[in-house]
Structure 1
Amino acid sequence: MRVTFCGVRGSTPAPGPDFVRYGGHTSCVAVAPDGGRPTLLLDGGTGLMRVTELLGATPFDGTLLLGHLHWDHTHGIPFFRSGTAHGSRVDVLLPEQVAGRPGDAHATLARCFSPPHFPVEPRELGGGWTFAEIAEGARTVEGFEVLAREIPHKGGRTFGYRVSDAGGSLAYLSDHSPTGLGPGPDGLGERHEAALALASGADLLITDAQHLAAQFPDVAFLGHASVEYDVELAVEAGARTLVLFHHDPWRTDDEVDAVLALARDRAAGRVEVVAAREGLEVGLGG
């Protein structure tokens, strides 16, 4: 599979000259089979607009898998030109809002954008769009094996995902609040069973790096993880590469550089660490 980072910011877009190298778009990761175009998109932040470039302005034919429904993960949906193009297919999957009780996915998503807050609602994006909730568990999506697990995050049910094919695997825990389950062995948050199951032996662990441990407890109420937690989770889970993601919208390029250096120092060679940036492509399995 080939993984392309289209939006890497958290909470809100970050435009301007201080955010050019890593990019200012919010969460979206495109996954493509070897030699193919992207067919699986993880989250629909404003980075979703960049997917059209990857498709050469042709209609999208695939699935948009949402981890949760906060603005920074949905606001790109109405502006996805390849999704609204004639002949597109966009199957939107979002977490079951109440475990064991399937609901109306379109009605739930419409709470993110519909009048009077936005001029259209999701079903108006085109006849190729469908909307459904999914439960925790394993399923095949666009030829990839996908494992969905609930992870702690404030303000609505949130899933993390593991995406695998014959060539490799990635774990995607975009918004993750492990301190919500307790301090864990070192005060950074629980390395809980769901996170470990998703990340175990993954080639890429893409996870929430919005804060530093020194910022807690002042920012704990926002529902995110610390960079230091990410390193320890990656090491404990045996992930090959940790990708710092969901950068704080106030964190400039130079500050992301500094956070990356801090994470690499903490890792001390136990795991490779990189910082997500728009346009970064990673091939798994050759």
Structure 2
Amino acid sequence: MRVHLAGVRGSTPATGAAFARYGGDTSCVAIAHDGADPVLVLDAGTGLARVTALLDGPFRGTILLGHLHWDHTHGLPFFRAGDRDDATVRLRLPAAEGLTAEKTLARVLSPPHFPITPAGLRGRWTFDDLAEGRHETEGFVVHAREIPHPGGRTLGFRVSDGHSSVAYLTDHGPVALGPGPDGFGPYHDAALALARDVDVLIHDAQYTAGEFDACRAFGHSSVDYALGLADAAGAGRLVLFHHDPSRTDDRLDAIAATLPAGAVVARQGDVIRPRVLVQ
């Protein structure tokens, strides 16, 4: 398995020289079988546009959306490898009650907010609901579990190819379930199930401990929570993800300098393999 970090920022893109080294595009992770193009994408933030450069031709695969906030969907109409006549894209998302997946997506992709609806994307696109449970897609086994985050149903994922595994919990606000052992939220059953003994845990770490109290209602995690969950679940490697848009490269460097062995700060363009980070 090969995991490409195409966008690592949260909430809104960050631009300028102060964000150049870690990157400013929002959440998107592209997963490939070794020696092949990516065929599974988790979230479609502005980083999705960068997935095109990883492909030899059109995208033919599946995109899973954990939820539908702007920073996880804005890349869809700018995905050149998917918006072309010879592309085949299956998009799956947690649909709103009473709506089809396509109509749910149209709430964030339609006039007057954007010129086209999902039906206007070129290529063969299909739109399907995504429920909790076990799914087989693109040669991977994906386990989806609901995790707390305000403003709509949110899923975390665990992806395995039978040899290695990666868990992806971004936009995770466990403090909604209580203070937990350290005030940052409990290590609840869904989070532990997704992260248990995983090779790589990619986790929301939008806030530092000092920032957390003022931001606890926003539905994100602290660096400390991500470290604690990785330890409690026995994760092999922790990748801190979904950086606050105001977090400059220098401030991310400062966080990286405090991390224990086995934990890193996500950098746009990094390629992750189980227990190995390739720059």
Amino acid at match of 1:254: D
Distance in 2 separating the partners of 1:216 and 1:194? 22
Amino acid at match of 2:22: Y
Q: Does 1:212 align with 2:208?
A: yes
Matching residue of 1:118: 114
Contact 1:91 1:131 in 2 (8 A): yes
Shift of 1:30: 0.4
Deviation per residue, 1:183-211 (Å, 9 max, x gap): 01121211000000000001110010100
Q: What percentage of residue pairs aligned between the two structures are identical?
A: 58
Match of 1:132 among 128, 131, 141: 128
Paired positions, count: 276
- Computed over aligned residues only, the root mean square deviation of the Cα atoms, in angstroms, reads 1.3
Name the counterpart of 1:280.
270
One-letter code of the match for 1:113?
L
1:51-200 equivalences in 2 (<5 Å): 51-56=51-56, 58-98=57-97, 103-200=99-196
What amino acid sits opposite 1:88 in the alignment? Answer: A
Q: CA deviation at 1:96?
A: 3.8
TM-score for the superposition, normalised by structure 1: 0.94
**Which whole-Å CA distance do the structure 2 matches of 1:72 and 1:285 have between them?**
28
CA contact 1:167–1:284 (8 Å) conserved in 2: no
- Output the CA distance in 1 between the equivalents of 2:184 and 2:74: 30
Residue of structure 2 equivalent to 1:49:
49
In structure 1, C-alpha distance between the alignment counterparts of 2:44 and 2:133, rounded to whole Å: 21
The one-letter code of the counterpart of 2:265 is A
Is contact 2:236–2:275 with CA below 8 Å preserved after alignment? Answer: no
Partners of 1:282 and 1:177 in 2: how far apart? 25
On the 8 A contact 1:208/1:246 being kept in 2, the answer is: yes
Unmatched tracts of structure 2, length 5 or more: none
Q: Which amino acid aligns with 1:61?
A: R
Q: Which amino acid letter does the alignment assign opposite residue 242 of structure 2?
A: H
Partner of 2:245: 249
Equivalent-residue separation in structure 1 for 2:53 and 2:83 (angstroms): 14
Change in 2 beyond 3 A, CA 1:34/1:285: farther
Q: Which amino acid aligns with 2:80?
A: R
SS in structure 1 of the partner of residue 126 of structure 2: strand
- The equivalent residue for 1:35 is 35
Instruction: Report runs of 4+ in structure 1 exceeding 3 Å deviation.
Output: none
CA-to-aligned-CA distance 1:99-135 (integer Å, 9 cap, x gap): xx7x401111011121011100111102411111111
2:77 partner letter: P
Contact 2:45 2:70 in 1 (8 A): yes
For 1:278, give the aligned amino acid: Q
Gaps of 5+ in 1: none
